[in-house]
Structure 1
Amino acid sequence: MIKQDISYKEKEGIGYKEAGKFEDTRFEKIHNVIFDSSLEASILVAKEIANLIHRKEELNEPCVLGLATGSSPIKVYEELVRMHKEEGLSFKNVITFNLDEYYPMDKDNIQSYHYFMHDHLFDHVDISPEHINIPDGTVSFEELRQSCIDYEMKIKSYGGLDFQLLGIGRTGHIGFNEPGSHINSGTRSITLDHITRIDAAPSFLGIDNVPRKAITMGIGTVRSAKRIVLLAWGISKAEILKKTIEGDVTSQVPATYLQEHNNTTFVLDSEASSELTRVKTPWLVKSCIWTDELKLKAVVWLSELTNKPFLKLTDKDYNDNGMASLLTEEGTAYDLNIKMFNKLQHTITGWPGGKPNADDTYRPERSTPAKKRVIIFSPHPDDDVISMGGTFDRLVEQGHEVHVAYQTSGNIAVSNEEALKFAEISMAFNSKSTESQQIIDFLKNKSENDIDSIEVRKLKSLIRRSESLAATRYIGLTDENVHFLDLPFYETGTVKKSNLSEADIKIMCHLIEEIKPHQIYAAGDLADPHGTHKVCLDSLFEALKILKPKPFMDDCWVWLYRGAWHEWESSQIEMAVPMSPDQVLKKRHAIFYHQSQKDGVMFQGDDSREFWVRVEDRNRETAKKYNDLGLADYAAIEAFKRYYF
């Protein structure tokens, strides 16, 4: 195996090794650096690109960049734009070649990569239009092959790519080089994998609208680049990254071909790196400092590996699986097993708001005050009941002052057909309603690139709002305790959202300061396929920073739940709230009130199950994991992790 030459990175002064977490282990075949924050990582990658542009400018040479699209490089492009506007970074000597484009695809289509690149980068810097190269999705089928050959030859005419920026798909594709792609492949047309189309579906408002074909640079073209940096963010990329970085080179995971490139770096955030051996099971890589958190993680892993509950693990189990040093520190398996069993058992509580007049020494929540003020932040108008409906119900039943705050209107997730149905009902009641007629006319004549009118967005928001109120009333909450924040970043009328702004954070601060909560629940699910969860969580974190000096914040605890996509690992859970079969059914009925999100939800992801089915299965699976570890057998469990600010 060719070891990665990091001299280029050191010479450019990027500081990946210093800023991120890098270890050269026997498991890993590609140089990779892990960052706590994708923003921090993106800024460093942008700095490397800027340094290369400057160096080429000093040599009076063109800087040939291969560029990627998708959500991963957006922050890199934002930082490059900032450098151009604030630091004078010039793109006059830059020549760009984009990796890919859908086919067929008009350039002015908002889903085209031509549109994406101009929107995020080209329209904001001083690059010459003739230096911008993007595969042409408008050429006829008869001209397509020659167009690909011409694209390939143009790259070669500049001596190849100086720098190639990549993302990675869940199939292991780079560019649109899907499984089966040849190591020496050049620019060509390709049929997209079903998983790739599923991942693109949110941007196209449904998989039926996603093109089946694309034009892509080939693996051989990418590998000819002098320098390659691949970006990967989020837990949804973790599994494929482990296969890519630690697995064998195979055409079934095209990104593994990068193992044979001598100047490649994968830049990852903590979620994306979570399946790597050095992150998931570091005791198999090197000697560990055994923190309490790492001990629990290791014992849970060993229990699952051996298919034994905690209390049946033996000294031999530990010694045979690379954990002898842990036993040396703890004494015996017996003592360690009991310690870890108790630690996990203490996460279980039927009193998520704290049990009044009880010893709370080993409980996840405080017993005082007995009646707490609680805010449940829900990114979309159904995340509250989908993700923590049982806990929500418990908090209300146990007499706490519960508030639900829906951070966004969720209007983009209401289909045109659903909105048209309501508009027509409105017209049936009032045939003279000009607003209803305008909505009907707009929806019936809406074209692919049309952004919803203000009236349509209002109607779709009202649909989600009425469903939310129906669900919260069912759980027993009064309407006065339901807050619709309509954070401005979301209200664009398209899948693409604005950046988080002071206006968003101000709204969050105002509500928190008004209620002065003892508990805040928020979505910590960063695998949300279209990013709204992350922006909503960031809005909370920014608000907490501002409000932290306030005296009431000393008594405020923050609990993070995960959404319909993933659950916390057993070792990460700090509060586990069991649900009875009756509560499981009540949670299901609360979800059912969100009718616009049933039967063909627009952001389904790669899971064909409806949200209520997948979340019930997930809650049952969490309960089963606890039972398999040797704890009590519950029908279902909702899980939370505390956030310390």
Structure 2
Amino acid sequence: MRTTSIIGNDISFKKAGQFEDTRFEKIHNVIFKNSTDASIIVAQEIADLIRSKQEKNKKCVLGLATGSSPIKVYQELVRMHKEEGLSFDNVVTFNLDEYYPMPKESNQSYHYFMHQHLFNHVDIRPENINIPDGTVALEDLNQFCVDYEMNIKNAGGLDFQLLGIGRTGHVGFNEPGSHINSGTRIITLDHITKVDASGDFNGIGNVPKKAITMGVSTILRSKRIVLMAWGQNKASIIKRTIQGDISSEVPATFLQNHNNTTFVLDEGAASELTRLETPWLVGECIWTEQLKNKAIVWLCQHTNQSILKLTDRDYNNNGMSDLLAAGSSAYDLNINMFNVLQHTITGWPGGKPNTDDSHRPERANPAKKRVILFSPHPDDDVISMGGTFAKLIKQGHDVHVVYQTSGNIAVTDDEALKFAEVCNDFVEKDKSGINFQAVIDSINSKTIGQSDSPEVRKLKGLIRRRESYAATRYIGLKDENTHFLDMPFYETGMVQKKPLGPEDIAIVKEIIERIKPHQVFAAGDLADPHGTHEVCLNAIFAAMKALKSKPFMNDCWLWLYRGAWHEWDIHEIDMAVPLSPDEVMLKRQAILYHQSQKDRVMFQGNDSREFWVRAEDRNKSTAKLYDKLGLAEYEAIEAFKRFEY
């Protein structure tokens, strides 16, 4: 169990089962199981600060951030305002940055973001809101930046600064090369930053090249700084920031010089910190089975040896001598780990009938299972587990694929326009009720940042739907076993989605109750750049929890796969399904049926490869790891982790 609390500036962290040693770390940090719990605690610290200032009849000066990281903090602050009477009457805010040029009314502007998520819902005085102005004339920018600095100083300085962090290590828009003495200024955005923002702007070509940002020195003058980071895709830069040397190449490392900074992280963002990634190199450990397995796999990779070749000397020389001191020999440890991995491998993902299943990942009975394969977007099924999908069908199971969202925002305007023009040439209005000329006109008149019209969204959703049918037919699935939920939280026409609601959970609950599955496969890849996977998984968790008392749920197992961004670490895998060369090719072709997602992927994150290439490389890499560890050699492997709900 992990407990974390923040009271004022006092943050304590305990992790049961592991000796905590932060000798490699240069910035104080706390780690939460998930971003929701962390955000509530951060919001509470801000609320306590606001109230303490109110009691002294003083202004509370907040530095605020935008992006996905602080959204849940703002939601909690709004809740406290509405339900607990938290007043913002004494609050003065200064935002970190704004794109340039950028009109305030654009839904990509940070002015729009802050009003949408916070200012429109609380009693803050409009004159107390300060956001860099993306409409200032170029010749007036220098004076604007000087004035922004003076306004912060005249307000008494920042009492609290909330930060996120970019993959370049930027805080605000202080990109690599920013000086520690830099003040508020205009800056040219790094290419990686523009790639990360490209989904919000419908392509990298539409992302502004510049931004106005508070400087590093402006941030460092804050009395209190809290930086938040969520997800595995932030793990590398978080490790570099917390454990690396101070460098202008990673501007966030300048925070090492601040005496009242805390990084608030979820497990994914913290996963590469030495005390979590390789705690045996830091200090004494309490050796759980999972930690022992992780360490042995690491030792094999570190020494470039297979499991059965590891010696006592390998363990002793790499921080794992206490495993041997506990009475185990290298031979015993190696054999046990080899068997653990061996037992994960199966060519029968639905269980092999009429066999002893005591050392198999799935049950032998019932021989023919009802299976739900949940897919957040209309291609995650084949990208993540296309080979396993085909095996389940071939082995006679009753497989249902359930697409949780329409995926319409991932279809480019050019792709939709192509389909609309073809349809318009064929008929004026088809039976779906779409007026294709209206769709063409809407796309051609669309401005950057404008959301799609309902008809455009409908067409884009139909494109994804028909691609899905083509792919599942190729795999061998009957059309009647393909289901589309079109969960409401997704249908905003914009990258920003609505929160998960009761209607979303009810839709998922209904299909689980209707099919009564023995197996549920779901996306456990939370590195999705825009969070749809996490929302879809939370809907499944909530639905299964609500159904837990139903008799059929006693026989229902939940398996998590990972998608296009990361794979399970070897020690985390509970079921490894080998694929033959023919099955790899079948999976590739199924992915390629999703033609709208080929070549110009809008939401590919930090990986420029196409989804089919990523999936194939990932599956082949997993197979190579098993091979190097001394297991059988396969062409590719799809991996799954069983989740106890």
Q: Distance in 2 between matches of 1:358 and 1:144?
A: 74
**Which runs of no fewer than 5 residues in structure 1 stay unpaired?**
1-8
Map residues 443-458 of structure 1 onto 2, 5 A cutoff.
443-458=443-458
Alignment match, 2:537: 537
Alignment match, 2:37: 40
Question: 3-state SS of the aligned residue for 2:13?
Answer: helix
Structure 1 residue 22: Cα displacement: 10
Alignment match, 1:17: 13
- Say if 2:202 and 2:448, in contact at 8 Å, map to a contact too: no
Per-residue CA deviation, residues 294-342 of structure 1 (Å, 9 max, x unaligned), is: 1100000111111111111111111011100011225211111111011
Q: Does 1:578 align with 2:578?
A: yes
Per-residue CA deviation, residues 263-308 of structure 1 (Å, 9 max, x unaligned), is: 1110000111100111111112222111111110000011111111
Alignment match, 2:625: 625
- Say if 1:205 and 1:603, in contact at 8 Å, map to a contact too: no
Q: Distance in 1 between matches of 2:615 and 2:236?
A: 21
Alignment match, 2:340: 343
Q: Does 1:140 align with 2:169?
A: no
Alignment match, 1:480: 480
Per-residue CA deviation, residues 4-57 of structure 1 (Å, 9 max, x unaligned), is: xxxxx9652876536999945211111100000110110000000000000111
Per-residue CA deviation, residues 512-565 of structure 1 (Å, 9 max, x unaligned), is: 000110000000010001111110011001111101111111101111111111
Alignment match, 1:270: 267
Q: Does 1:514 align with 2:510?
A: no
Structure 1 residue 159: Cα displacement: 2.2
Alignment CA distance shift 1:330-1:253 (3 Å): farther
Alignment match, 2:499: 499
Alignment match, 1:87: 84
Alignment CA distance shift 1:538-1:476 (3 Å): same
Per-residue CA deviation, residues 407-447 of structure 1 (Å, 9 max, x unaligned), is: 00001111111111111111222246681121122112222
Question: 3-state SS of the aligned residue for 1:522?
Answer: strand
- Say if 1:375 and 1:405, in contact at 8 Å, map to a contact too: yes
Q: Distance in 2 between matches of 1:491 and 1:47?
A: 31
Q: Which amino acid aligns with 1:141?
A: L
Q: Which amino acid aligns with 1:205?
A: N
Question: 3-state SS of the aligned residue for 1:560?
Answer: strand
Match for 1:395 among 373, 392, 407?
A: 392
Q: Which amino acid aligns with 1:526?
A: L
Q: Which amino acid aligns with 2:13?
A: K
Q: Distance in 1 between matches of 2:304 and 2:14?
A: 39
- Say if 1:578 and 1:634, in contact at 8 Å, map to a contact too: yes
Question: 3-state SS of the aligned residue for 1:321?
Answer: coil
Kindly report the root-mean-square deviation, in angstroms, between the aligned alpha carbons of the 2 structures.
1.5
Structure 1 residue 139: Cα displacement: 0.7
Q: Distance in 1 between matches of 2:560 and 2:319?
A: 32
Q: Distance in 2 between matches of 1:159 and 1:74?
A: 26
Q: Distance in 1 between matches of 2:498 and 2:300?
A: 45
Match for 2:167 among 166, 170, 173?
A: 170
Map residues 300-449 of structure 1 onto 2, 5 A cutoff.
300-431=297-428, 435-449=435-449
Question: 3-state SS of the aligned residue for 2:268?
Answer: coil
Q: Does 1:587 align with 2:587?
A: yes
Q: Distance in 2 between matches of 1:24 and 1:264?
A: 19
Alignment match, 1:249: 246
Q: Distance in 1 between matches of 2:111 and 2:132?
A: 9
Match for 1:199 among 188, 196, 201?
A: 196
Alignment CA distance shift 1:333-1:22 (3 Å): closer
Q: Which amino acid aligns with 2:140?
A: E
Q: Distance in 2 between matches of 1:440 and 1:214?
A: 33
Q: Distance in 2 between matches of 1:203 and 1:625?
A: 36
Q: Distance in 1 between matches of 2:44 and 2:428?
A: 60
Per-residue CA deviation, residues 100-134 of structure 1 (Å, 9 max, x unaligned), is: 11111110110010100000000000000110001
Q: Distance in 2 between matches of 1:624 and 1:218?
A: 46
Q: Distance in 2 between matches of 1:363 and 1:370?
A: 14
After superposing the two structures, state which structure 1 stretch, 439-448 or 333-342, moved more.
Answer: 439-448
Q: Distance in 1 between matches of 2:455 and 2:19?
A: 51
Structure 1 residue 599: Cα displacement: 1.5
Question: 3-state SS of the aligned residue for 1:17?
Answer: strand
After superposing the two structures, state which structure 1 stretch, 621-630 or 71-80, moved more.
Answer: 621-630
Structure 1 residue 210: Cα displacement: 1.0
- Say if 2:19 and 2:283, in contact at 8 Å, map to a contact too: no
Q: Distance in 2 between matches of 1:36 and 1:318?
A: 30
Question: 3-state SS of the aligned residue for 1:338?
Answer: helix
After superposing the two structures, state which structure 1 stretch, 594-603 or 368-377, moved more.
Answer: 594-603
Q: Distance in 2 between matches of 1:470 and 1:556?
A: 29
Q: Distance in 1 between matches of 2:435 and 2:491?
A: 20
Q: Distance in 1 between matches of 2:151 and 2:242?
A: 31
Structure 1 residue 601: Cα displacement: 1.5
Structure 1 residue 455: Cα displacement: 1.2
Alignment match, 2:549: 549
Q: Does 1:58 align with 2:55?
A: yes
- Say if 1:202 and 1:529, in contact at 8 Å, map to a contact too: no
Per-residue CA deviation, residues 430-473 of structure 1 (Å, 9 max, x unaligned), is: 24668112112211222223321111111111111100001101
| TM-score, normalisation: structure 2 | 0.97
Alignment match, 2:525: 525
Structure 1 residue 226: Cα displacement: 0.5
Per-residue CA deviation, residues 377-402 of structure 1 (Å, 9 max, x unaligned), is: 00000000001000001100100000
Q: Distance in 2 between matches of 1:506 and 1:246?
A: 45
Identity of aligned residues (%): 70
Question: 3-state SS of the aligned residue for 1:272?
Answer: helix
Q: Distance in 2 between matches of 1:549 and 1:320?
A: 51
Q: Which amino acid aligns with 2:524?
A: G
Residues matched between the structures, number: 637
- Say if 1:619 and 1:636, in contact at 8 Å, map to a contact too: yes
- Say if 2:6 and 2:45, in contact at 8 Å, map to a contact too: no
Match for 1:218 among 202, 205, 215?
A: 215
Alignment CA distance shift 1:108-1:596 (3 Å): same
- Say if 1:29 and 1:259, in contact at 8 Å, map to a contact too: yes
Q: Distance in 2 between matches of 1:181 and 1:526?
A: 31
Q: Distance in 2 between matches of 1:407 and 1:152?
A: 47
- Say if 1:19 and 1:35, in contact at 8 Å, map to a contact too: no
Q: Which amino acid aligns with 1:243?
A: R
Q: Distance in 2 between matches of 1:581 and 1:416?
A: 36
Q: Distance in 2 between matches of 1:440 and 1:106?
A: 26
Q: Distance in 1 between matches of 2:127 and 2:69?
A: 26
Per-residue CA deviation, residues 570-607 of structure 1 (Å, 9 max, x unaligned), is: 11111111100000000000011111111212112222
- Say if 2:521 and 2:559, in contact at 8 Å, map to a contact too: yes
Alignment match, 1:155: 152
Alignment CA distance shift 1:24-1:163 (3 Å): farther
Alignment match, 2:114: 117
Q: Distance in 1 between matches of 2:205 and 2:161?
A: 31
Q: Which amino acid aligns with 1:98?
A: N
Alignment match, 1:601: 601
Map residues 559-578 of structure 1 onto 2, 5 A cutoff.
559-578=559-578
Q: Distance in 1 between matches of 2:150 and 2:176?
A: 25
Per-residue CA deviation, residues 132-187 of structure 1 (Å, 9 max, x unaligned), is: 00111111111111111111111111221000000011111111111111111111
Alignment match, 1:3: none
Q: Distance in 2 between matches of 1:54 and 1:442?
A: 48
